[in-house]
Structure 1
Amino acid sequence: MKIERICKPKFEKVPLNEWLEFPREEIDETPDFFEDYRDNLIKCAKDRLELSRWLTWEVQAPEIANESAMGLRYASKMYAAFLKLAEHPEQDLTFKIFDLPEVTWNGKGMLEAGRAHPEQWLDAYFLAMVTRDSESMNSLASFPVEVMKQSATKAGPVSYKLVEVFQAYHHRQENYPLLLNECMKMAVEQGNEWALGIAMGCLETFAALTTDIGFDFNETLAKNVQLQEKYWMNASEPDTVPVESFLPLQLLGMACMWHDMGNEVTVESDSLPRFLINGTYFK
């Protein structure tokens, strides 16, 4: 089933090449400034994620697909490293991310600065899923939710419960179905646009992926790709492009899981690049 995107950036006003130029320049310069300070981990990860999102508007030639996939590979490692520092704030940790300079930092002050919250964890975990980065997935799956709650940036109870749900499935805990049902109920009770448009959509799609609840995976995925796009369009300020909708990481990660389980992803959407679902550049 083919899904056409509703949101179409006005490239006659700001050409696509201009949207691509800044993250590409930042990525090219990464080796020169990467060691300078700890928060470059998250800055560089976001640059690469932003680039991959805008690249979904390019013709998906092999060189474009490779550029996007390689950027996401780096971003996955960067996100996971950043959250590892927050998990062990007093400990000096050393990271070597592919060809970037080796760095040693600690996470002192990260929780006080609000730098470890559920939204960041969700992006990190599903980005690792997309890139088949099992090392980062395992690290993130062990991140204590209680530590996350110490972050100065607070979230609602549904956000923390979402993390618990995905961690429970990752570890194949017996209480996973119970947590899934609890989180769905909490999302309905919270009742705002985020809870119903993002959280519930992720939960429904994950339930279709991992349980026999009776949801058809592809139908559920297609529905929630469209709902998420509408959510981000409504949540964006006027004249602001809803870039988050260009690559919905949680739904994309679930599509990758469905494919890797030996199933067919029949949903066709520019927001779900086929080379990412197939793991073409991650084998």
Structure 2
Amino acid sequence: MTMILSRQDYPKDDMAAVVPVMEGSLSYSLEKIETSHNSRSDVVMESLNVALVRCVEDPTAGMLETWESWLLAMQVHSAVFAAADPDRETVTCKIRQEERHLATTGPQTYLNADTWLDAFYLAMICREAARLNMLARIPVSLLRDFGGTLDEYTYAWVETLQSFWLRRDDLRTHLVRAVDLSAAEHAHVVDADEMTKLRYPPIMMLYRYLRNDPAGFNDALADAVRWHKEYWTADEDRTRNILGVVALAPLAIACLAKANGIPVEVQSDYLPEALLDFAWRGEFDA
């Protein structure tokens, strides 16, 4: 039985009005992405924001422009990590159907584990195996060298996803550690509410997926969507935050499950249908 879970209301007209401005800023940042660290940091944030804001007016992601924005966000997030290789001078990445030659960087503030997770989720949503292979081989030590502090859970979850994708024997060890570190008492950088309602649910979804438990998986997905809504509607500031429009991590794990034969029985605008179904398959050379 399909579970239908509603999304909070957003001011569609107001958000649609800012899309051209956001697109203009994104295009400006893209012009300098080959050499400018500041532009790379900006384009990572701006590309995801554009993809999210387009899903306010187009909640199923059924419009061509919406899919293009998600594809671009995936390309950009993957490209900045491909360009982190300190052993090369440049890397060539396709971004908006153009070959871009990015100077390599080594560790940077925007190359942190949270950005890596967004990159991995976007590549899962776009079913980009080659980019997932690249991301799964990014050393966690590089993600730790970005100059800031993240909760230890974040690194455990990165290692879990890398082990899962590369089919390593240490998957169970990393998964158990991620579960343990996602307990609210281990939340120091993020608050306990974020840890419980946003960080923990994707772990349980992956666990149910690994157990090949369709019923348990869909229960975990439904919980993830409900908690996502609870978190992003808890106060006025969160309600206005564009990051709440799509449940990015649950969507990514749901895309993985659906691509591998587990039926997804949760329907919600937090999980845009065309992204979940990979409706634009073959329309673009990513």
Please state how far the C-alpha of 1:40 moved relative to its aligned partner: 2.7
Report the counterpart of residue 68 of structure 1 in structure 2. Answer: 66
Could you say what the CA RMSD is over the residues aligned between the two structures, in angstroms? 2.6
Confirm or deny that 1:282 pairs with 2:278. no
With the length of structure 2 as denominator, give the TM-score of the two structures.
0.85
Distance apart, 1:257 and its partner CA: 0.8
Match of 2:161 among 166, 171, 179: 166
Q: Aligned pair 1:181/2:173, yes or no?
A: no
Map 1:259-278 to 2 at 5 A: 259-278=258-277
Counterpart CA distance in 1 for 2:77 and 2:32 is: 17
Deviation at 1:254, TM superposition (A): 0.9
Cα shift at 1:36: 5.8
Q: CA deviation at 1:230?
A: 2.2
User: Does structure 1 conserve the Cα–Cα contact (< 8 Å) formed by 2:114 and 2:154?
Assistant: yes
Following superposition, the deviation at residue 164 of structure 1 comes to 0.7
**Residue equivalent to 2:217:** 217
Match of 1:207 in 2: 207
Conserved? CA contact 1:76–1:136, under 8 Å: no
Alignment of 1:74-223 (within 5 A): 74-86=72-84, 88-89=85-86, 91-97=88-94, 98-100=96-98, 102-107=100-105, 110-111=107-108, 114-188=109-183, 189-190=185-186, 192-212=192-212, 216-223=216-223
Amino acid corresponding to residue 168 of structure 1 in structure 2: S
The 1:240/1:28 distance shift into structure 2, 3 A limit, reads: same
Taking structure 1 as the reference length, what is the TM-score of the superposition?
0.86
Distance 2:270 2:160 in 1: 25
Name the aligned partner's letter for residue 90 of structure 2.
L
Q: CA deviation at 1:136?
A: 1.2
| 2: CA distance, partners of 1:45 / 1:246 | 17
Unaligned runs of 5+ in 2: none
State the SS of the aligned residue for 1:103: strand
How many corresponding residue pairs? 274
Q: Tell me the CA shift for residue 215 of structure 1.
A: 6.3
What letter corresponds to residue 91 of structure 1 in structure 2? Answer: R
Cα shift at 1:103: 2.4
**Deviation per CA, 1:105-160, whole angstroms, max 9, x where unpaired?**
1205x43xx22211101000010010111121111100111221122022111111
Instruction: Give yes or no for contact 1:41–1:81 (8 Å, CA) kept in 2.
Output: no
**1:200–1:215 distance in 2 versus 1, CA, 3 Å:** farther
Aligned partners of 1:93 and 1:106 also within 8 Å:
yes
Q: Which moved more, 1:90-99 or 1:157-166?
A: 90-99
The one-letter amino acid of 2:92's match is: F
- CA deviation string 1:143-199 (max 9, x = no partner): 111221122022111111010111111111222123212211121241522222222
Instruction: Give the whole-Å Cα distance in 2 for the aligned partners of 1:61 and 1:226.
Output: 18
Aligned sequence identity (%): 19
Structure 1 residues 66, 92: closer, same or farther in 2, change over 3 A?
same
Q: Find the aligned partners of 2:97 and 2:126 in 1 and give their Cα distance.
A: 17
Match of 1:55 in 2: 54
Structure 1: 5+ residue stretches without partners: none
**Quick one: distance in 1 between partners of 2:24 and 2:11?**
22
